[in-house]
Amino acid sequence: MSINSIHWFRKGLRLHDNPALLEAARGSHTLRCVYFLDPWFAGASNRGVNRWRFLLQCLEDLDSSLRKLNSCLFVIRGQPANIFPRLFKEWKVSRLTFESDSEPFGKERDAAIKKLASEAGVEVITKISHTLYDLNRITELNGGQPPLTYKRFQTLVSSMEPPEPPREPLTRELLGDCVTPVSGNHRERYGVPLLEELGFDTESLAPAVWPGGESEALMRLERQLGPDATAAWQENFERPKMSSSPLLASPLGLSPYLRFGCLSCRLFYYKLTELYNKVKKNTSPSISLYDKLLWREFFYTAASNNPRFDRMEGNPICIRIPWDRNPEALAKWAEAKTGFPWIDAIMTQLRQEGWIHHLARHAVACFLTRGDLWISWEEGMKVFEELLLDADWSVNAGSWLCHSCSSFFQQFFHCYCPVGFGRRIDPNGDFIRCYLPVLRDFPAKFIYDPWNAPDEVQRAAKCVIGVDYPKPMVNHAEASRLNIERMRQIYQQLSRYRGLSLLAAVPSNHMEVVGVSEAQGAAAPPTRRRPRSGTSTHRHRTSPYTTPSDLSEHNHEFAIPQQPGRLIWPVGGGTGKREREAEHNGCHGDDGPSPSSSALKAQDDEKRREDGEGVAFSS
Amino acid sequence: MKRRLSGDCEDSPSSCEGPAESCKRVRQPAEDSGDVLPDWARLPQEMLLHIFQYLPLLDRAFASQVCRGWNEAFHMPELWRCFEFELNQPASSYLKATHPDLIKQIIKRHSNHLQYVSFKVDSSTESAEAACDILSQLVNCSLKTLGLISTARPSFMELPKSHFISALTVVFVNSKSLSSLKIDDTPVDDPSLKVLVANNSDTLKLLKMSSCPHVSPAGILCVADQCHGLRELALNYHLLSDELLLALSSEKHVHLEHLRIDVVSENPGQQFHTIKKSSWDAMVRHSPKFNLVMYFFLYEDEFGPFFRDEIPVTHLYFGRSVSKEVLGRVGMNCPRLVELVVCANGLRPLDEELIRIAERCQHLSAIGLGECEVSCSAFVEFVKMCGRRLSQLSIMEEVLIPDHKYSLDEIHWEVSKHLGRVWFPDMMPTW
């Protein structure tokens, strides 16, 4: 019996390190690589033209690489669940392979396809290759819940085996006798469509700053990490120089390629290690070398079992914040009309090119949410989803949860100033001049706050604020004062802390598995790759929102007795025992939002005490 | 005796019986025969009340439909002392609002029970108006606590001032025993504060009124002069005066516990007045333990008048960029400092400033740094000097500049060692 395989491309748009694709080729007589352009999905996901262009370029590149192997790509219009059964029959398929997807909706879709395949007698093989690790193992190591702090995540990961090395690319040799049957009308039926065919207007489209595709990704990787190792090291790992250069799209940037899987994260991981070993001989790299890759991994893990990861309501790890619903203000932000040149330049870059630097992401996300506009992070996330090339569902939502201090225990007291932050990075304002030509002639002194420039300066710059460029849409000093105060109140409520300290209301970020004793005896810095301590110490981790000092100290905030039974964290899964431990030893844990009957009880005790005394002004 | 189902218990007169008696009746059948359930309808009111206190309002409302007894329990005054009105419009908020029928019912049946009331209002003027409508109907109640809380943009500010004032003064006049009042970001004015003082001067302990632009220094001085029990006060810097501090430290006045000052600049280059050292000294003599919390939202060049003399500030928050020089003055002139938060600073490391603060601010126990720079060795030195009294240490990773002594990977062990607990810098995603 002959083996006829389909490899289904979704992400993972590459031939290198693609274990599922190798499985498809192994011992097969025929191999067809398919990609579904799903009109329904496209409509729902609302991707912008840059993302579509990037995707189509990836597909073009994939097709041309496959053609070099005497194969080609089948781009199928429609939904996988509707079309697979027909393909299984038509192509007499016996094996279906694809890269496994960790995201909740992807898993759901894949389960449905697996069912269809098994009904059709098709063997299904999936392989993990979009992430470095098997995310389920990380969650398992953490006692069944995804870790909620990056530190905790780092610790878990460093206790695991290093990721598997990348697999060899698909080659003619590996394909052997395996062929791809192609019909005469392949181009019409299965060719990669043009942007125009998808209904995009390409007349006014500037050339892509980020050309899609595996070939481009590998070229960038080669340039970024070699051939001059020392230069490459400085480029990547020395502290970034304070200038506008990191803000601009780098020809070495890789994040969109990782998002679409044009570049394997494991290949990147091993190239990084190689470079490190070349430059820093005799030391083993610290886990922080891989920060960029691991943050991505962290968000994938956090989202893997949480279908509401991208919402506030019903999302167990998201703090409920009474965001303002304000479409006009949101539109000003999204369309780069805030009147803050730093914010508007970033949003312009994002819309034009599809990528912005991570510091720029912090800046605009903070401005939209907790910093200035007090608009829900979900709205910002949707805008990024449309415009940002590297915005994967998990990573995008996770970043926004972080930026808005809605989860993952961030410093809420610090918000980026829409004037000062940019000025620190790029004092001359070259970045602004690049993306907002209307402000080009402003002197550096006023380019971040042009509304403060005297009239004659505005006239000399041929840009009158309020006429040629908008006035600032908010008074940052006043808005940030209000917003910090609101965040403080929300966090205080969560931590049940009633004192004056702003910092005591900040949830602790530092729940480490190592435990205090290990730190006390830390005269000799322990190696990072310590034996697996994760599971054994896990049970000591407790809610960061309860420490005894918080409860006993100052009780002087304006206090409305709590309505019993109203908890902001709607999480399930904690045990009463753990909570009690929390109150006794004040040990910080990172499973965070702790639900729990005893937290509730403590809150009620407090309430009844207050009621008993009859003063809300709790003494 | 055959058990009754809760559905047909409406005629049960349980609420008329004494608690002991009804307790017995609830328990009795279970003792008689093991196969029957207790009669929930006959649960004594005290016990019901106790249980109801644990239930959210909605669950209580459902429970109240079970039988007459539970319905009566639902309306017990104890359950209505404290209420938070949430006033949101679908167009301006993602959150649900308190149902209008519930509001009506509370005003009709429970307004005389209300003691602790807060209004959470979204950014729409309608919501602020709705809050005022409720306030103006609270004529037969005696509130102890009133909070007007804007959860998004300050919408009370958009109301006609007279409308807001007349609603607020209804409460001031009728309550006569207000103890806590939180009216930040509202158009409250001097005359309305006079009404407050005239009716509640004996009871007022807490007053929070940050960013109330219609209040003048004279208006707040009147409150301080009359309300001798005032222990907590929050206001903006433009209301702070030497006279106010002297009034708060008069013999008749109780010890002040907290004073919060927000220093906000309305326009760049604004000039700020100064407070005499002697006024602060009087304050500290009168209330040696009082906390002075100051939030600064200023441009760097507006700090001129601040920290020139010793100031008894305990909690300092710099919401915008603050210069090295000002932080140097903080180290010199803030001996009572307990907490310091610096959100941003220029590009020069804060090494000497931090060391000086560690040296001279002997009570410092919490520090937070955002966009600043400190060399790793200076930071370790700082932590070593403060030692375990540093209970909160929130430092962004980018703040720490590696030097010849410590790399970023080493510093957390070194700092943890001096703190006696595990510590890490805070990280933001670099993705």
- pLDDT tens-digit series, residues B303-352: 989 999 999 999 999 988 899 999 999 999 999 999 999 988 877 899 99
Question: ∠ CA(A282), CA(A283), CA(A284), 5° rounding?
Answer: 125
B392: distance to nearest CA of chain A, Å? 6
Q: A109 or A548, which is more confident?
A: A109
Q: What local confidence, expressed as pLDDT, does residue A238 receive?
A: 59
d(CA A286, CA B412): 13
Residues of B in contact with A504 (CB under 8 A): 366, 391-392
State the pLDDT confidence band at A507, using cuts at 50, 70 and 90: low
Highest mean predicted confidence (pLDDT) among A19-33, A225-239, A493-507:
A19-33
Contact A616 B180 (CB under 8 A): yes
Sequence-ordered strand ranges (E) for A38-107? 73-77, 95-99
A590 in a known ligand binding site: no
**Mean pLDDT for chain B?**
87
Assess whether pLDDT exceeds 80 at residue A11: yes
What is the mean pLDDT of the segment spanning A450-456?
94
What is the mean pLDDT of the segment spanning B109-113?
89
Q: From the list B95, B151, B371, which residue is nearest A421 (CB)?
A: B371
Q: What local confidence, expressed as pLDDT, does residue A585 receive?
A: 31
Q: What local confidence, expressed as pLDDT, does residue B376 receive?
A: 92
B265: distance to nearest CA of chain A, Å? 7
Residues of B in contact with A377 (CB under 8 A): none
What is the mean pLDDT of the segment spanning A49-58?
92
Quick check: A534 and A159 in contact, CB under 8 A?
Answer: yes
Q: What local confidence, expressed as pLDDT, does residue A514 receive?
A: 30
A201 in a known ligand binding site: no
Q: Would you report the helix, strand and coil content of chain B in percent, each value rounded to 5?
A: 45, 15, 40
Q: What local confidence, expressed as pLDDT, does residue B256 receive?
A: 94
Q: What local confidence, expressed as pLDDT, does residue B2 receive?
A: 41
Contact B422 A514 (CB under 8 A): yes
Contact B295 A484 (CB under 8 A): yes
Contact B417 A313 (CB under 8 A): no
Max distance between CA atoms of chain A, in angstroms, equals 87
Residues of B in contact with A150 (CB under 8 A): 427, 429
A177 in a known ligand binding site: no
Helices (H), B215-276: 217-226, 242-248
- What's the pTM? 0.84
Contact A558 B208 (CB under 8 A): yes
A251 in a known ligand binding site: yes
Q: From the list B144, B151, B409, which residue is nearest A322 (CB)?
A: B151
State the pLDDT confidence band at A59, using cuts at 50, 70 and 90: very high
Both tokens assigned to A437? 């030509």
Contact B401 A421 (CB under 8 A): no
A508 in a known ligand binding site: no
Contact A503 B93 (CB under 8 A): no
Q: Which of A17-26, A262-271, A518-527 has the lowest mean pLDDT?
A: A518-527
Q: B424 or A87, which is more confident?
A: A87
A255 in a known ligand binding site: yes
A269: distance to nearest CA of chain B, Å? 15
Q: What local confidence, expressed as pLDDT, does residue A204 receive?
A: 78
What is the mean pLDDT of the segment spanning A432-447?
95
Residues of B in contact with A499 (CB under 8 A): none
Q: A354 or A579, which is more confident?
A: A354
What is the mean pLDDT of the segment spanning A553-579?
35
Residues of A in contact with B317 (CB under 8 A): 413, 484, 502
Quick check: B115 and B80 in contact, CB under 8 A?
Answer: no
Residues of A in contact with B123 (CB under 8 A): 324, 326, 374
Quick check: A165 and A17 in contact, CB under 8 A?
Answer: no
**Mean pLDDT for chain A?**
79
Q: What local confidence, expressed as pLDDT, does residue B5 receive?
A: 39
Contact B366 A558 (CB under 8 A): no
**CA closest to A503 among chain B residues:** B392
Among A324, A425, A426, A604, pick the best mutation site for testing chain B contact (most B Cβ within 10 A). A324
Residues, chain B, total? 431
CA torsion sign for A333, A339, A345, A348 is: positive
Residues of A in contact with B272 (CB under 8 A): none
What is the mean pLDDT of the segment spanning A290-318?
92
pLDDT tens profile B29-75: 444 555 566 777 778 888 888 888 888 888 888 888 888 888 888 88
Assess whether pLDDT exceeds 80 at residue B78: yes
State the pLDDT confidence band at A244, using cuts at 50, 70 and 90: low
Q: B292 or B1, which is more confident?
A: B292
Please tell me what DSSP assigns to residue A619.
-
A586: distance to nearest CA of chain B, Å? 12
Residues of A in contact with B116 (CB under 8 A): 560-561, 616
Contact B56 A566 (CB under 8 A): yes
d(CA B244, CA B219): 10
d(CA B388, CA B72): 55
State the pLDDT confidence band at A306, using cuts at 50, 70 and 90: very high
Q: What local confidence, expressed as pLDDT, does residue A403 receive?
A: 92
Residues of A in contact with B88 (CB under 8 A): 322
Among A374, A405, A502, pick the best mutation site for testing chain B contact (most B Cβ within 10 A). A502
Q: From the list B118, B260, B416, which residue is nearest A560 (CB)?
A: B118
Assess whether pLDDT exceeds 60 at residue A328: yes
Q: Helix A358-366 crosses helix A341-353 at what angle (to 10 degrees)?
A: 120
What is the mean pLDDT of the segment spanning A174-185?
90
Q: From the list B152, B182, B346, which residue is nearest A558 (CB)?
A: B182
DSSP character string of A389-448: TT--HHHHHHHHHHHTTSSS----S----TTHHHHHH-TT-HHHHHH-GGGTTS-TTTSS
A250 in a known ligand binding site: yes
**CA closest to B419 among chain A residues:** A520
Assess whether pLDDT exceeds 50 at residue A57: yes
Q: Sheet containing A30-37: give its strands across.
A: A73-77, A30-37, A4-9, A95-99, A123-127
Residue B26: partners with Cβ closer than 8 Å, 6 or more residues away: B38, B39, B42, B43, B44
Assess whether pLDDT exceeds 80 at residue B13: no
A619 in a known ligand binding site: no
What is the mean pLDDT of the segment spanning A223-232?
73
What is the mean pLDDT of the segment spanning A237-243?
54
Q: Which of A308-322, A344-358, A485-499 has the lowest mean pLDDT?
A: A485-499
d(CA B71, CA B65): 6
Q: What local confidence, expressed as pLDDT, does residue B265 receive?
A: 84
Q: What local confidence, expressed as pLDDT, does residue B129 receive?
A: 95
Q: What local confidence, expressed as pLDDT, does residue A235 receive?
A: 64
Residues of A in contact with B94 (CB under 8 A): 312-313, 322-323, 325, 376
Task: List beta partners, residue B208.
Answer: B182, B234
B123: distance to nearest CA of chain A, Å? 7
Question: ∠ CA(B49), CA(B50), CA(B52), 5° rounding?
Answer: 60
